[in-house]
Structures are given as structure tokens and as C-alpha cells.
Structure 1
Amino acid sequence: MLVPGLLSRCRCLPLPPKFARILLLTCLLPCAAARADPPVPALNTISSQQVAEQIEQLGAADFAEREAAMQRLEQTGRPALPQLRRALSNPSLEIRYRSRTLIDQILRDDHAHRVSLLLQQGEAADSSLLPGLKRFREQVGNDPAALQIFAEMQLSAPDLMLTLAGLENQPVPHSAAAAAELQFEQYLAEMRYTWQSQKGKTRELTPLYVALFAAAEPGRKMSPQLAGMLSGHVNATEFRTVMEKAKSEDVPVRLLAAWIATEDDANSYQKLTLAMRYQLREGLLPAIELLKNPANGSMTQAALLTVARFGDRSHLPLVEKLLADETVLNSSRNRERVVWTIQTRDVALVAAIHLCGEKPEEFGFTKLQKHPMYLYQYSTAGFTSETLRAVSFARWAEYRSKHPDQ
């Protein structure tokens, strides 16, 4: 049984900026509403003709009549939505304004009712009951603890969750997609402001769970700025503390892993860093994509060590393709003025040796240092001379000749 205390929060849900709400109501809510919904009883069922009459009363000359019509339409609930949406183009400004207000309130009431059903039904609840529930079950889980957090996410950001439902698995107008992206950007910005204002206090993590769930939406391409903002939240002390104690099947782990696994080349480096920090095997996916088309040296280096850490011998051909890449990643001089150089092929060789279960020091990497997060310290995977480098690569060639099937 899920915690019923969450229901007390259903009537105090925040609204996004007005202009964004208008765009999303116009473009996205019909998409979400078009889905097959499970039966959710209306508060008061009246005929279509009666709904039309009440909508006309929204423009009545008498204020009391207008208010009474609003109350009756709100009590009618979801069945009134189709006609209220059509009323958004009514010539009367008063009817348009009140219809828009009613649409918002009915959706909020309906959403609160659906959250209450999820809390009551738990694992048996229909996947179409709430926006995003089907994907959440697929990416995160369906146990009572997971569904309780999902209910908290719904109550924390109902508008963003409803927007995600309008975007999933169906084409939407470009204007709707742009409005949704703006809404997500505003959500992250507001979250950052809220967290900054709570510095020194224990911060609520539910908004971060919502952000991670939104970021893991299939097909989303986040800008590097947004990804950086989200990564900053993920590196917060509260989240790190939760992740240190979490098991692989726990909600925070699954949410972060789902985002890391999305196809988004522009933010692969940040995802690799998070995967290494939190030991998430899902980091293999962006790492492999980076190695298929290597570009930036530091990103290639991170991808190589990510594959070394989470991969197996089946990834050896991908790594060995870079054994001829002489791109200089770093060059420094020690106190004895000896030049220390790290090339892409050096890191690739370390990764290959690790994938084979061998020890890098036996191949000449005598200065290589282990790292608790990145497997090996980046700055120690190099050589002081081409002679030493050649010796290491010769040892590898000899090893491969004896183990050609690896």
C-alpha cells in the first residue's frame, strides 16, 4: 500500500508562466487527451447539451450566473473538456477566459484524482492512468516504493509530467516541441534558483527525479547548457549521499541510468563522467558511440576508460582501432625536466590490457596510477620517451600473437 499522506498535496500544485501554459494547452493537451484513458468517474455527469448551455452562461451578464456556471462545469469534470476546448475560439472574451481557466482546473482536479487512484491501486493500476507511468515502469520499476516516488513526482511537477505525455510516441507540432523545451528549461532554472536559496539546508530531491525523468524522454536532444545544469544538480551533496546508499534497482539509480543511456552525442562527456562517478554500466552506450566516431581527445580518453571499466573482451576491436592514434592528449615536464607525454594510443593500450584482464605495469606502464572514479589516473597513462612507448607496444603485439582469439 502506498502512502496516502501524499494526497494532501493534490490541491496546491504550481503553475508555469502564463504564455507557456497557453501554448501547451493549445498544442500538447489534445495530444495527451487523445490517448485511451482508463475509466475515471466524473464528479457529476450531465448531457452534452447541458454542457453547451453552461458554457454559454460563462458569458452571462450577471456575475453570479457566470460563477454558478463555472462551478457546475468544474463539477462535471473531464467530460466537459472537448466543448471547453472548442470554446477557446468563442467570440466572447469572457467565455474564452473562463473556458481556459476551467480547462486548467479540471485537468488539475482530474490529475489529483488519478494520483489518488495510483496510491490506492499500486502495481495493479493501469499504465495509462497517469502521464509517463508506462515509461516510468519500463525505465525504473513498478514496485510500491517506485510508484510512491512516481506519485510524488506527479504532485511536484504535474504540468511538466503532462507535457511529457503529450510528446511521447507521437508527432507533435514544432511550436509544441519548442514550448515543451522552453518549459523544461524554465523548470531547471527555477530548480537551480530554489536549490541555491536552500543552501545549507536539506534539499528535496523529488524535483531532480522529475528532471531526470524528463531528460530521459526518448528522442530528447538537450543543449549542453541544460545538460550542464542538470549535471550540477546530480552532483549535489544530497543526491550523492542517496546514490552512495542506493542499490542498482533503486529509483534514483534507475532514473540517472535512463538519462545516461539516451542517444545524445552533444552531452556524452558529461554522461560518461556521471557514469564513472556513480558506477553505472549504462555509461557504456555513450562511450561506444564516441569511440565509433572519435573526435575530441579528452572525450575519447574518457570513453576509452569507460569501456575499460564497464566493458568486456567483446569491446576489444573497438578499442584497438585507436592503437595507431598518435594524438597528444597531454605533455608536461617534471622537476628533472623530463618530458612526459600521453597520446590517445597510450590510453587505448591501457584500456585494451584491462579488457583482457592483464596488468598494465607488465606492459611497461610503470607510472600508471589507479583512480577510484576513472579506473586510472588520466595523467599517468603515458611515457617519457618513444623508446619506452615502442617497448610497451611490442609487448602488446607479442601478447596478441599468442592470444589472437581475444
Structure 2
Amino acid sequence: MQSVADTSACMSMRILGVLLCSISTYSWAGQPVNPFGEEQGYDIPALIEALGADSFQMREWASWRLEQAGLEAKDALLVGLNHSDPEVRLRCRRIWEEIRALDFQSRLEAFASDTEGEGDYGLPGWERYQAMVGGDPSDRDLFVRMQRAESDLLQLVEENAQSLGDRADAFVERTKYLQQAARSRSNRSEVTLGAISALVFVGSNPELTIPQSALYPFYNLLYQPCFHSAVNDLTDGPRLRKLLGAWIAQADDWSAGYQNLMLAMRYDLKEGLLTAKTMLKENSQPPSQRQYAILAIGKLGTEEDLSILETLLSDVSVCASYRINNQAISTQIRDVALAVLLHRQDADLKDFGFERVRPSSQTLFSPYTLGFAKSEEREATFKRWQAWNEKNSVQASTTN
């Protein structure tokens, strides 16, 4: 009868034998041993078929040879993704992903090292980014950070390999994921300046229509500290403003109009002017949003842009109603328009009856502080302005 010790020793020998058998299929350098015992001149299509061979050793050897072939095997591997044999499909996908990742990292590192910008590295989105932002070393540095953070999204969207719907879906999925990551301790490190910058860049692609479901998480990410602080610094700020300007310029969904106006005023982005002027001309948005279009023109517009505000001086649409000390106060569109016109003429608003006015670094004024408690107060303010405006007009004509 065999003792426990003998049984244990026997099992150990069997395990060792299995391990030695497995190891024997590989060289000490990690290279699978050629099952034919010598180098064979197999072409790539034959290696693809060998991925489904009965012999595990043959499958491993064919996989290794295809990995060594690199991009030369690209076309055959992509065809193999639709092979009838699931083993071939699985290995083709794994091998191609490894080759693509290694090739991308090689090209990205070469791009990062090329401070003179002399080479063409085929990085997705570079041509559009360069036209939008620029190509100096600082511009390239931000682009590298974007690629390192969101290479898959940039490749999918910028290389036009998928349908517009699939590309938009990828943007939505990644945006929602990063918003959730921002709330998570374990994944918060993924919410980087490079990642958010990449989202802004991808979202500014004129070919994409961004679904409304992505807008809330997208704007939420723009106020993450890593991005918000960078927009205001001297290093990345100029580049990030260009990206944000491109996002605002291509936005055609009015559900994003208010948010884009706030971004434009916060960061002094002239691209917000078109949004503001269009919103006022179409007059299809609620007064609560149109008041910010007026303020945006006041902050960002030229003297010529102010003419649109003069057409609003008879608009009695109510922007907001509220109570202060049991006193009902309302702000009308014409109140905001007049306040902006006076501000642009360097007038003191309190001299004209805007007793509650409160300045704002972002929006010129807090809109609710431009309202009146009584219609008589409002009418008196407009009469003061008319008299002052007529006086200035007479003086200007006399001077000329």
C-alpha cells in the first residue's frame, strides 16, 4: 500500500512534468518553438489559418509570428475578425489590438519628441486640431495629453471609421463615464485635463450632432477644477479657449444656448456673440435666457453689435419676478437692454434709477438687480435715459 508521503511525491512529479512539458514549447527568450523544428517561410494568410490549428503549439507559434509581422499583418488580421472559426476571430482581435496599441504608442512618443513638427505621425485628429489650435510645442503638448487620455475615442471619431451615430454614441458614453468617475474616489484620477480637453475637441467636430443626453454631463465636466483652473492660466489657457470657442461655434442645439453664453462670458470667448445675436433675432427662447444674450452682447460685442439692443427697449417680456423685503420686483427685457446700453456709454446706472444694480465679473450685472418694484420707477428711468440720450445726440451733431 502506497504511503501518504509516496502519493504526495508522485503528485509533485506529475505536476513538474506538466510544467516542463508546457515550458518546452517556448524558448527561454519567450519565443514559441517552431513546431516544425526549423524556420518556415509561411505567408501571413497561412498564419491566420494556423491560428485555428488543432495543435496548441501551432496556434501559439502562429500568433507569435503575426505579432512579429506587426502592421504588415493588418489587412489579414482585419479579415480574420470575420473568420468562421471563433478561435481565429478571438486571436486575430487580440493580436491586432496589441499591434495597434504598440504602433500607436510608438507614433505618439515620436510625435512628442519631435518638437520641430517635422514628421507626419498619422495621429487621429491632428490636422483638425492644428488648424483649430496651432502647432507650436505647447499646442503639441496638450494634444499629446489628449491622446494619452482618450486615444480610443479620438481614433473612433476622428478617423471616420464608424457611422456618425456610432461616433456620437461613443462621445455620449465616454462623457457620462467621466462624469461618474468625477464623483468616484476610485476612478477620479481618470478625470484629467487631457481627457476633458479631448471631449471638447471631439464635441466640436462639425460632422457630429451631440445628443441632448450628453450635454448635462459635458458641461458638468467643464467646471471640474483641473479644467476650470487650466482655462484661466497662462500655459494651457489660450489653447483651451480655442477649443471651447470651437465647441460654442458649432453648437446648433438651443438647449445648450444658455450654457454656451455662460461659458463665453466666463472666459471672454467672442464665439458666443453669434449665439447671443441669433437668440435675440429669432426671439424663440424664453426671456430668462434672452436676458443673458443681452448681457453677452454687452460684454463681448462691438459698438455695431449694440444696435440690436436698441430694438429691445420696448420689449416688456418679464425675465424674472421675485420679492425683496415683501416687495415684488420684476425685471423686463427692456430693463436689461437699457442697463447694458448705459454701461457701454460709461454711465452710472444708479444715476438713472437702477438702485439695486449689482455688478458681476462674469455677466456684467446680476440680472435680477436690474428690476423695478413699481412701473412708475421704470418709466422714470426710461425718461431720464431719453433726455440724456437726446442731449448727447445734440452735442455729438454740434461737434461734428
Specify which of 381, 388, 393 is matched with residue 377 of structure 2: 388
* Alignment map for 1:215-254 (pairs within 5 Å): 215-246=203-234, 250-254=238-242
Aligned positions, number: 352
Residue 304 of structure 1 and its aligned partner are, at CA, apart by 0.9
Aligned residue number for residue 66 of structure 2 = 73
- Identity fraction in percent: 28
Cross-structure match for 2:263: 274
Letter in 1 for 2:143: F
SS at 1:392's partner residue? helix
Aligned 1:135-146 pairs, distance under 5 A: 135-146=128-139
**CA separation of 1:129 and 1:325: change in aligned 2, threshold 3 A:** same
The alpha-carbon deviation at position 248 of structure 1 amounts to: 7.9
Q: Which of 286, 296, 299 is 1:306 aligned to?
A: 296
1:341 corresponds, among 330, 353, 357, to: 330
Please say if residues 123 and 142 of structure 1, whose CA atoms lie closer than 8 Å, have aligned partners that are also in contact.
Answer: no
CA 1:80/1:219 → structure 2, altered by over 3 Å: closer, same or farther?
A: same
TM-superposed deviation, 1:123 = 4.1
Q: Match for 1:241: what amino acid? A: S
Moved more, 146-155 or 354-363: 354-363
What letter matches 2:324 in structure 1?
N
Match of 2:307 in 1: 317
Name 1:124's counterpart in structure 2.
117
TM-score normalised by structure 1 residue count = 0.77
AA in 1 matched with 2:331: I
Q: Call closer, same or farther: CA 1:273–1:224 in 2, change over 3 Å.
A: farther
Matched, 1:297 2:287: yes
CA contact 1:329–1:342 (8 Å) conserved in 2: yes
Aligned equivalent of 1:283: 272
Displacement of 1:326 in angstroms is 1.2
| Deviation of the 1:184 alpha carbon | 1.8
Equivalent position amino acid for 1:162 in 2: Q
Residue 93 of structure 1 aligns to which amino acid in structure 2? P
**Structure 2: how far apart are the matches of 1:212 and 1:248?**
14
Residues 51/400 of structure 1: CA separation in 2 closer, same or farther (3 Å cut): farther
Question: C-alpha root-mean-square deviation of aligned residues, in Å?
Answer: 3.0
Q: Which has the higher contact order (CA 8 A, sep 6+)?
A: 1
Give the residue type in structure 2 aligned to 1:327. S
Distance in 2, matches of 1:177 and 1:200, equals 29
> What secondary structure sits across from 2:183 in the alignment?
helix
Instruction: Give 1:363 deviation, angstroms.
Output: 3.7
Check the 8 A contact 1:152/1:206 in 2, yes or no: yes
List gaps (5 residues or longer) in structure 1: 1-48
Q: Which residue of 1 aligns with 2:18?
A: none
The answer as to whether partners of 1:81 and 1:103 remain within 8 angstroms in 2 is yes
Three-state SS of the structure 1 residue aligned to 2:43 is helix
- 1:187 equivalenced with 2:174 (yes/no): yes
Residue in structure 2 matched with residue 40 of structure 1 by the alignment: none
* Residues 1:395 and 1:312: Cα distance change in structure 2 (over 3 Å): farther
Q: Is the 8 A contact 1:127 1:133 kept in 2?
A: no
When residues 390 and 192 of structure 1 are mapped into structure 2, their CA distance, relative to the original with a 3 A threshold, is same
Give the direction of change, closer, same or farther, for the CA distance of 1:358–1:312 in structure 2 (3 Å limit).
farther
Q: Is the 8 A contact 2:107 2:121 kept in 1?
A: no
Contact map agreement 1:304 1:319 (CA 8 A) in 2: yes
CA displacement, residues 95-116 of structure 1 (integer Å, 9 cap, x when unaligned): 2222222332222222112102
* TM value normalised by structure 2: 0.78
Give the CA deviation at 1:67.
2.1
Report the CA distance shift for 1:356/1:126 in structure 2 as closer, same or farther (over 3 A).
Answer: farther
1:327 lines up with 2:300 in the alignment: no
- 1:93 Cα shift? 2.3
CA deviation digits over 1:113-170, x for unaligned, max 9? 2102202223424566200111211222212122122112212221101012223xxx
SS of the counterpart of 2:322? strand
Provide the residue aligned with 2:183 in structure 1: 196
